[in-house]
Chains A and B, each alone.
Chain A
Amino acid sequence: MKPRHQRALLIVGGLAALGVAAYFVLRALESNIAFFISPAEVVAGKAPKDKVFRIGGMVKEGSLHRQDLTVRFVITDTAADIPVVYTGILPDLFAEGKGAVAQGKLREDGVFHATEVLAKHDENYMPPEAAHALEQAQKAQRTLAKP
């Protein structure tokens, strides 16, 4: 093979590899996106059926109930309430009156079955998605930050 042909081969090979890579990347991206939907939107029927999505807002005061490893609570954006059920151990920062984000599916009965509840590092931090939901509800909210 002449050097020129070799270079051409190299370039064509490289481009083909990039193309294949791009195809796999985009396909993987497509199937692993979770949309964020606020409780108000869920109530308005905008939630996808049988597809994983995220909801966020505040954990309603007095709504947290445990039975063995099954936890039930209500996520609210002050405009709408969504009951959530989760099995397992919650992150340390999960508490009533704090912001939270849960990922999972909405069942027929209107209960959100969470497979994951988002953990955070800092108690004064509000997940942007939860803050967004509260903002959207356009209700006055108590500040989460301690004085």
Chain B
Amino acid sequence: MRLSKRRKPNALWRNHELKAPCRKATMIPELGHFALILALFTALVQGTLPLYGAQRGHAQWMALARPAALAVFLLVSVAYLALTWAFYVNDFSVLYVAGHSNTRLPLMYRLAAVWGGHEGSLLLWLLMLAGWSLAVALFSRRLPTAMVARVLAVLGLVMAGLLAFVLLTSNPFERLLPAAEEGRSLNPLLQDPGLVFHPPLLYMGYVGLSVAFAFAISALIAGQLDAAWARWSRPWTTVAWIFLTLGIALGSWWAYYELGWGGWWFWDPVENASFMPWLIATALIHSLAVTEKRGSFKNWTVLLAIAAFSLSLLGTFLVRSGVLTSVHAFATDPKRGVFILILLAVVIGSSLLLYATRAPQVSLGGRFALLSRETMLLVNNVLLVVACGAVLLGTLYPLVVDALGLGKISVGPPYFNTVFVPLMLPLLFLVAIGPVLRWKRAEPRELLRPLLLPAVAALVSAALLPWLAGAWRMGVAWALGLAVWIATAIVWQSIDRLRKGMPTASWWGMQIAHFGIAVFVVGVTMVSSYEEERDVKMSPGEVVTVGGHTFKFLGVSEAEGPNYVAAVGTFELYKDGKRLRLLHPEKRHYDSSAMPMTEAAIDAGFTRDVYVSLGEPLADGAWAVRVYYKPFVDWIWGGCLLMAIGGAIAASDRRYRIAVRRATPAVVHSSAL
């Protein structure tokens, strides 16, 4: 359809002909839409026939699961590529593209804009779910056929539910006729490298929990909740957890440097929505360890797997329904909320019903003494689940109060801090003890050798470190003492273990992840106790000092970016009279948007960040300026990174690849220690 052959005198029109090859209306978006519809039917096949086959022992029907998963993945990929294409060629006859892109948006952000809005981010979600299904189909050669068929069927059903959601309420391929001349562009906040990675990582984690869920549900259906099931489920759960950890950490870092708020966590409902599945997934990882090694906690593990995935769906509901006042809230459509709520009800309802019918037949597993690793992991689980419950309460309480007509309220960050910190302190204390205890029964005297040195180190640090950091405070003493307790215990235990030969990858993974917690705790404690923040009015030539660092304001000049103009400030940073460097915070005005955007300038360091951002221009060339001194703030994300690396090392353990084969022939209770 080469309508654009005729020359139009209109300047805008010519401009489009020049820049965008898109004016040829193509069928590609329809192709994408059609692929999604086909994917829905394929997913329904994947979700039903293999399940039926597994129950009846029909090998051919079970064998359908793998090719169906592959087909769904290919179809969803076609849809995803079709939408990406529409962004690439600026096809503004697609409503979603017109709403989230324009011709002057740089290519990288045009491609990332695919998941910059509701419809596209759900499509990304679908692609990832299809990807996880395909991964299960590919890497499950050693699993029994019936198990694979069931797992893929459960994933197929989840897929079908979400595909129906997208097709019925959030079709990204909806046309805008006549086509828009120019798109509305992407929200400037999202025009940042952080956007390119944060949502995909987070979604990988969210969606990955569906695999743990599918394993749990298929084990329930089969009535085989055994050690083998736990061993198969473990690496998948860990990998999903790694993505979730990285996604949350990256989101936190993004908020810190991009939003110009200077905080790293706000207890915002949407942050909580990603944090709750993380807490439960963390509990699940530990509970799976007990189920695999000792055959205990089976019912509990299954419940955690169901809860983790349900909380992922709840998170989607909270983000996408617009029911909560949140910094993340985007303009939304209530119809979608209702659909997700129904999906959530179906998932939770059917899972729990299945659980109720099967749970009584599950054996209890090995007994254990009060002082044993099992007890430690039980306490870990209780604390994490209670913490998650408290976060859930604080997040949903405003909704409940509103629904009951008791008024509109909000729950502030102090609530979450007051509740969360006391719950985490005992957990930190136990992190050092758990790994040295033996399964089943441990003797108190065995604890003395591995823990004496860490205990002394912790007490000394608690007494001295806060004093060195600035001012001695009780809370800081506790937190730093516990961080040192964990760190020294890990180092000490590692030296001890190395004498007896090389420990397994799992063991190293655990220790590195736990070490990450210590690093994280140092970061959180230092920044929340000793940070300095100041909002000041500054005229060129004036100086301001925070945390021993002096900023000299030199002035503001104009600069032009690809699709914005910016006021660029220049600050000289001094420490102890020595000039360190220049800092250039920006205030950007994007062409497409009425709102300005703050770009903070950060001088990052191992033990501190200093941070300056521009507020509004005031009279006589003065500016409102925000300056921060953030001690150890980067340790927060460093700790998260260590946790993720630890998880990756643990998931790579050879045991998961070799032992699966051994576990396959009818081993019901692994007695491995």
Contact = CB atoms under 8 A, between A and B. Distances in A.
Interface of A: 1, 3, 6, 9-10, 14, 17-18, 21, 24-25, 28-29, 31-36, 54, 66, 68-69, 87-90, 92-93, 95, 101, 103, 118-129, 132, 145-146
B306 to A, nearest CB: 21
B322 to A, nearest CB: 7
13 contacts: A3-B367, A17-B382, A28-B415, A32-B415, A33-B409, A36-B407, A69-B624, A90-B616, A93-B595, A121-B187, A121-B328, A125-B331, A126-B331
Contacts of A145: 331
Contact of A33 (B261, B327, B411, B615): B411
B567 interface: no
Interface in B161-193: 184, 187, 189
A14 to B, nearest CB: 6
Contacts of A25: 390, 393, 419
A76 B452 CA distance: 63
A120 to B, nearest CB: 6
A25 B419 CA distance: 6
B570 interface: no
Given A31-B414, A36-B408, A89-B616, 18 more contacts: A3-B369, A6-B369, A28-B414, A29-B393, A29-B411, A32-B414, A33-B415, A68-B624, A69-B536, A89-B535, A92-B260, A92-B597, A92-B598, A101-B325, A118-B327, A121-B187, A127-B329, A128-B329
Interface residues of B, number: 52
Contacts of B418: 24, 28, 32
Closest 8 CB pairs between A and B? Answer: A89-B615, A36-B408, A32-B415, A28-B418, A88-B535, A6-B370, A32-B412, A122-B330
Given A33-B410, A95-B594, A122 B331 contact: yes
Nearest to A32: B415
Contact of B327 (A3, A6, A119): A119
A92 B408 contact: no
Contact of A24 (B330, B408, B419): B419
Contacts of A146: 184
Contacts of A124: 331
Contacts of A119: 259, 261, 327
A125 B408 CA distance: 18
Interface string B144-162: 0000000000000000000
Nearest to B622: A68
B621 to A, nearest CB: 13
B331 to A, nearest CB: 5
Interface string B370-414: 100001001000100010001001100100000000011111101
B418 to A, nearest CB: 4
B615 A122 contact: no
B618 A66 contact: yes
A121 B188 CA distance: 9
A25 to B, nearest CB: 5
Contacts of B397: 29, 33
A55 B541 CA distance: 39
Contacts of B597: 92
Contacts of A129: 325, 408
A69 B618 CA distance: 9
Which has the most chain A C-beta neighbours within 10 Å: B375, B597, B624? Answer: B624
Nearest to B370: A6
